[in-house]
């Protein structure tokens, strides 16, 4: 009887990767869209003003994230609007706010990241071997609801039994809660689960803290973790590594 029943994956830089030149495009799509929406409501702000509010929001998010906490996306937008004008949100109708949130959230879909080589095959292999499969992902400005749309378009969403996104649970890896919630949803105990990710701090350290095993996917610029139970140079080697851990 194998000792591993459950496999969880990180998303960013494990299964998907941002194109560096598209990050600014996503930001600009959000800024332009919000400026246009506000203008239609008679609220005029320059592109520079909206960009400053966008950047101020980013700085606040970085501070929040450094404490392993997260913010609901609507709260991110409210913070950004208050940076433009501290009374702006109170002058908008609920439908107006919903439109702005939709623009803020959806920018990534116009400039999506790439699916990393071997990602779909690795997920298919893990699934076909009968493991329960979960996703544990920290989010940025793009919420889990939009990331799931993107994952569906990439053809990988259906491989997961459950998905956990930090904007939905308001804590971020390596916080133990992110791993425990996922394991509870999968009805798995930590000692029978292995997490796969690239980051020593968020993925390896977080998984080990709750008693899971951890496999590090080595990416350029990432230091090798001494805490990892195994390292793989590509996603092609994931299923072999999981099976090996389950047999010892």
- Domain-by-domain residue ranges, the chain? 6-17+114-246, 20-110
Q: Is residue 219 scored above 80 in pLDDT?
A: yes
Quick one: average pLDDT of 183-212? 97
Where does residue 39 rank: exposed (0-12), middle (13-18), buried (19+ CB within 10 A)? exposed
**150 close to 170: Cβ distance less than 8 angstroms:** no
Instruction: Using pLDDT thresholds of 50, 70 and 90, give the confidence band for residue 58.
Output: very high
Q: Is residue 247 scored above 90 in pLDDT?
A: no
Q: Is residue 2 scored above 80 in pLDDT?
A: no
Structure confidence at residue 1 (pLDDT): 55
C-alpha span between 239 and 236 (Å, rounded) = 7
Structure confidence at residue 21 (pLDDT): 83
Higher pLDDT, 41 or 11: 11
Structure confidence at residue 248 (pLDDT): 74
Q: Any idea which fold 6-17+114-246 has?
A: Rossmann fold (3.40.50)
Other C-beta atoms closer than 10 Å to the C-beta of 95 total 8
Instruction: Report how far Cα 222 is from the mean position of its chain's Cα atoms.
Output: 18
Q: What is the mean pLDDT of the chain?
A: 95
What backbone torsions phi and psi does residue 225 show, to the nearest 5 degrees? -90, 130
**203 close to 210: Cβ distance less than 8 angstroms:** no
Q: Is residue 171 scored above 90 in pLDDT?
A: yes
Range of weakest confidence among 27-41, 82-96, 180-194: 82-96
Look up the pTM and report it.
0.95
Quick one: average pLDDT of 130-146? 97
Instruction: Using pLDDT thresholds of 50, 70 and 90, give the confidence band for residue 91.
Output: confident
């Amino acid at each position: 009887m194998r000792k591993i029943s459950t496999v969880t994956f990180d998303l960013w830089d494990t299964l998907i990767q941002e194109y560096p030149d598209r990050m600014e495009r996503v930001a600009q799509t959000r800024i332009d869209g919000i400026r246009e929406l506000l203008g239609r409501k008679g609220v005029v702000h320059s592109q520079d003003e909206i960009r400053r509010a966008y950047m101020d929001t980013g700085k606040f998010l970085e501070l929040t994230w450094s404490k392993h906490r997260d913010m609901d996306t609507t709260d991110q937008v409210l913070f950004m609007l208050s940076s433009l004008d501290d009374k702006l949100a109170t002058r908008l109708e609920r439908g107006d706010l919903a439109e702005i949130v939709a623009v803020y959230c959806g920018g990534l879909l116009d400039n999506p990241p790439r699916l990393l080589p071997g990602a779909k095959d690795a997920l298919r292999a893990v699934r076909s071997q009968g493991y329960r499969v979960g996703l544990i992902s920290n989010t940025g400005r793009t919420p889990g609801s939009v990331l799931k749309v993107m994952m569906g378009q990439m053809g990988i969403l259906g491989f997961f039994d459950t998905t956990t996104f930090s904007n939905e649970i308001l804590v971020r890896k390596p916080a133990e809660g992110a791993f425990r919630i996922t394991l509870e949803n999968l009805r798995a105990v930590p000692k029978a689960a292995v997490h796969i990710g690239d980051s020593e701090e968020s993925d390896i350290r977080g998984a080990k803290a709750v008693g899971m095993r951890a496999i590090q996917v080595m990416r350029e610029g990432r230091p090798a973790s001494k805490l990892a139970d195994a390292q793989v140079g590509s996603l092609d080697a994931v299923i072999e590594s999981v099976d090996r851990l389950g047999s010892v």
